[in-house]
Structure formats: structure tokens, C-alpha cells
């Protein structure tokens, strides 16, 4: 579970653990990750992991893919955002923040996907021939990117774009790939906003008129893991929200 120490990732870790899964929490935040693993107790472990670091991702996947059980489901939630226009009175968009967002959100997701899929290759197939499932996290910003979201939208659009070819690449091995594209969710990123601003964001959603809850993301991630016909698809989870330009 990449990015599993907080927000959408934490909710997914909890949901999988409640259903009896062994969970490996991979995150750069060691304090939160270790605290969550300690709280969950049995069948939970923490591994510090920067998704852009090949060796750390490989080590986290190895920790999750214990010979006694194998790695059956991988979920990637690690990500960052950045707000800046393509060009403004101050000049062109800074290159380094754009590269950082792409590296963490897109390359980090691919890094987890490729190592997790390689580990799943060694699993014994189920009766249906399945060896595992990889769930990625994009965003509706991939489709409805707002002013100032060019770096974030580009990174999430890349995740959308790799979903189908990855699923086709891995189909012969019985490994599924599905991406969730959430809308506006009540995560720590929005927690710093005043309640009035959070309520306003919620009212922009057609139905239900509120921010999405991390548990709702987790419920979909669990369903994807349990439903073998979900493959090669990007699922919007947004209450019918289509974001305006600003």
C-alpha cells in the first residue's frame, strides 16, 4: 500500500485489514506509518518507502510478497500537488516543481506498478487464473484540470493513459490493472482549509453535496480487488462533479 499512512491510503489499509488481509504500509512518513501498523497489530507492517526510489520500492514489495502468502493486491495512493500557471506576469512555470510532481505522481506510480506486477508473476493463479491486481490513483483533474493544475493534471493524465496498456501487458499473467480517479475528497490536504471553504467545495458536487470520504475510496478499492471483471478501466469517483476552469 504505497502512500498508506494517511488519507485515502490509510482508509484503504484499514478496509483491507478489516477483511483479513495482510497489509504492508509503504510511506515516507515513518511516524504515521509505524503508528498505524502498531494500532492495527497482527497482519500489519510498515516499510519506509519513497515511491521515486527504485531500491526502496523493491524492498517494500519484497516485504509485502512474503513466500507464505504472496502479494495479491497493490494500491498506489502516494502523490503531491502544485499550483502554478503555465506562464504569468512572473514568467514561465517553474520547471523543477513540474518535474517533482511528475516524478512522484506518475513515475512513482509506475515504479510501484512494475515491481508489484513482477512479484505477482510468482503467485499461484486462482481458479480463474488470476495472480493479482494493481490499483492506481489518478484524479478527475486528469480530465477537468483547472487553472494552475497543469503539473498535477499532467501527472494524473499519465496514470490514466498507462492503465489500459498495463492491463493488456499483464493480461497473459492474470494480473489486473485498474485506476480510480477521485474527485474532491476530505483528506489531510484539505484539512488545512477553513470549514467554510470545505463546505463550499462540497456544495459544488451534484450529489451527494459534500466532500467524498476516504472510506468511500477504500470501499471501491476493495471492490476492485474482489471483482475479477474490473480490468483496464479508469473509474471516476466524484459524485458527478465536472470541475470548472477555476
Catalytic residues: 152
* Per-residue buried b or exposed e for 217-238, using 16+ beta carbons within 10 Å of the residue's own CB: bbebbbebbeeeebbbebbbbb
CB 168 within 8 A of CB 211: no
Prior bond of 187 cis (ω within 30°): no
State the DSSP string of 234-245: EEEESTT-----
Tally of CA atoms within 13 A in the half-sphere of 134 that contains its CB: 34
Query: Cα(first)–Cα(last) distance of the chain, in Å?
Result: 32
CA atoms of 186 and 190, how far apart (whole Å): 6
CA atoms of 37 and 40, how far apart (whole Å): 5
CB 21 within 8 A of CB 43: yes
* Closest C-alpha among 151, 19, 143 to residue 95: 151
Segments of the chain assigned E as strands: 23-27, 44-48, 73-75, 87-88, 91-92, 132-137, 175-182, 234-237
C-alpha dist (Å) from residue 80 to 1, 9, 198: 16, 13, 19
Amino acid at each position: 500500500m504505497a502512500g498508506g499512512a494517511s488519507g485515502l491510503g490509510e482508509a484503504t489499509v484499514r478496509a483491507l485489514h478489516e477483511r483479513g488481509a495482510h497489509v504492508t504500509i509503504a510511506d515516507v512518513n515513518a511516524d504515521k506509518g509505524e503508528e498505524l501498523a502498531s494500532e492495527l497489530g497482527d497482519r500489519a507492517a510498515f516499510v519506509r518507502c519513497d515511491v521515486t526510489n527504485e531500491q526502496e520500492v523493491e524492498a517494500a514489495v519484497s516485504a509485502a510478497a512474503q513466500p507464505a502468502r504472496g502479494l495479491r493486491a497493490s494500491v498506489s495512493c502516494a502523490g503531491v500537488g502544485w499550483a502554478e500557471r503555465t506562464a504569468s506576469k512572473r514568467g514561465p512555470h517553474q520547471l523543477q516543481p513540474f518535474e517533482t510532481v511528475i516524478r512522484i505522481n506518475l513515475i512513482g506510480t509506475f515504479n510501484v506498478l512494475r515491481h508489484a506486477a513482477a512479484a505477482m508473476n510468482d503467485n499461484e493463479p486462482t481458479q480463474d487464473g488470476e495472480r493479482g491486481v494493481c490499483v492506481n490513483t489518478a484524479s478527475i483533474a486528469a480530465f477537468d484540470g483547472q487553472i494552475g493544475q497543469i503539473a498535477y493534471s499532467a501527472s494524473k493524465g499519465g496514470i490514466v493513459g498507462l492503465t489500459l496498456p498495463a492491463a493488456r501487458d499483464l493480461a497473459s499473467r492474470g494480473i489486473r490493472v485498474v485506476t480510480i480517479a477521485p474527485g474532491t475528497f476530505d483528506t489531510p490536504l484539505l484539512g488545512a482549509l477553513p470549514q467554510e471553504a470545505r463546505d463550499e467545495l462540497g456544495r459544488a458536487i451534484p450529489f451527494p453535496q459534500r466532500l467524498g470520504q476516504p472510506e468511500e475510496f477504500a470501499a471501491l478499492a476493495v471492490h476492485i480487488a474482489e471483482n475479477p471483471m474490473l480490468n483496464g478501466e479508469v473509474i471516476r469517483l466524484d459524485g458527478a462533479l465536472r470541475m470548472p476552469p477555476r
